[in-house]
Chains A and B, each alone.
Chain A
């Protein structure tokens, strides 16, 4: 049954995600079989399930296909310069501590050009939820080799196969100090939604990697078929092992994809450490940033 076939439905029944999406901008730009839309859907579902006040949530993206996500979510959204989603989010969170600040962007954006910001935000334990959509390539600019392209995979800049060792992202995040680290694929819609919901309840630098298909570039250049074939590969090769050592999570070309929540710990955030430290050193002269933001220093 299509909604068009039942005009009464089209008028009375809305897609359940309507309150969370800028439906006037749908259909979105992503290609058929691209995994980014599914991740957006899971992110929106997690917001719904968490019952969080949407006026107190913001989403920050960088540049790239995955960087378009902020523009489709009905939240305060910021589409920042390439690689700079985390620095922007850092300022936003420190200036408005009451907000739940999330970052939703691509692998090239967050750990290629933005890699330095990524490791330092994890090291400082900034209170950010970072969801990284990993399609193993730079999709928007034509399938170039990126920091996550598996060894021997072809890309438009490595037509004879990639010889650079890619990042193992959960390992990178965990060894930089992130207290929450998880990986899923875009097939794991329920676990991904639940994991985002869980991460929304935690504090500090929370990192969720989502492996997702890019059919028109990564898959086409590697003759790996379409999006649905990729989802079957995730079905066959994803192995869920919660609590696994992130050091074991490297992804080989067409190899196993280790998924799960690898790290779930508590560690004081940057802001808590700052408040404690200056409180000790400066006593009453230290005025922490008010929750709703504002001027520092009482005047």
Chain B
């Protein structure tokens, strides 16, 4: 029953957007806003240093970004953005999205 509630009725037909995250690592100042607020936990702070000595984020869950653009909008440095890629599987093939907390 709960799966009925949680899964959209048109999930087998509607393809959710699939995004690719692009990081301009040398622009990042390591504030962690993108990592903290990504609703799909796509990002983590990397151990690498950028040219300025900050740790930029890296993609740790590839394939789950839905191009919601939150990272892009919240980044104070214009250092991260997403592009939409067309080849997404139908939603039914993916785990139900878990959107916890705020949708700022």
Chain A residues at the B interface, C-beta cutoff of 8 Å: 1-4, 9, 13, 15-17, 21, 23, 26-28, 30-38, 40-42, 45, 187-191, 193, 226-228, 231-232, 235
Known: A33-B31, A228-B33, A232-B36. A189 touches B74 (CB 8 A): yes
Taking CB atoms, residues of chain B closer than 8 Å to A9 are 22
B29 within 8 A of A: yes
Most buried by A among B23, B56, B76: B76
CB distance from A184 to the nearest CB of B (A): 9
Q: Mark B87-104, 1 if CB is under 8 A from A, else 0.
A: 000000000000001111
17 contacts between A and B (CB under 8 A): A3-B22, A4-B24, A9-B22, A17-B78, A26-B77, A32-B30, A33-B76, A37-B77, A38-B75, A41-B73, A42-B73, A187-B37, A187-B104, A189-B104, A228-B33, A235-B101, A235-B104
CB distance from B18 to the nearest CB of A (A): 14
Asked if residues A38 and B76 are in contact (CB atoms below 8 Å), the reply is: yes
Closest A residue by C-beta to B26 = A4
Closest B residue by C-beta to A184 = B104
Closest A residue by C-beta to B68 = A190
A228 to B43, CA, bound (A): 15
CB distance from A72 to the nearest CB of B (A): 9
A49 to B35, CA, bound (A): 26
Asked if residues A3 and B25 are in contact (CB atoms below 8 Å), the reply is: yes
CB distance from B89 to the nearest CB of A (A): 20
A42 to B25, CA, bound (A): 21
Asked if residues B36 and A231 are in contact (CB atoms below 8 Å), the reply is: yes
Contact of A32 among B29, B72, B74, B78 (CB under 8 A): B29
Taking CB atoms, residues of chain B closer than 8 Å to A23 are 78
A34 to B50, CA, bound (A): 19
Asked if residues B23 and A36 are in contact (CB atoms below 8 Å), the reply is: no
B27 within 8 A of A: yes
Known: A35-B76, A38-B74. A27 touches B102 (CB 8 A): no
Taking CB atoms, residues of chain A closer than 8 Å to B20 are 1
A31 to B29, CA, bound (A): 8
Taking CB atoms, residues of chain B closer than 8 Å to A235 are 101-102, 104
Interface residues of B in 54-88 (CB under 8 A from A): 54, 56, 58-59, 62, 70, 72-78, 81, 83
Q: Please name 20 further chain A to chain B contacts, defined as beta carbons within 8 Å, in addition to the given A1-B23, A3-B24, sorted by A numbering.
A: A2-B22, A2-B23, A13-B22, A13-B83, A17-B78, A23-B78, A27-B77, A33-B29, A37-B78, A38-B75, A41-B73, A42-B73, A45-B73, A187-B37, A226-B31, A227-B33, A228-B31, A228-B33, A231-B36, A235-B102
Taking CB atoms, residues of chain B closer than 8 Å to A187 are 37, 74, 102, 104
Taking CB atoms, residues of chain B closer than 8 Å to A228 are 31-33, 36
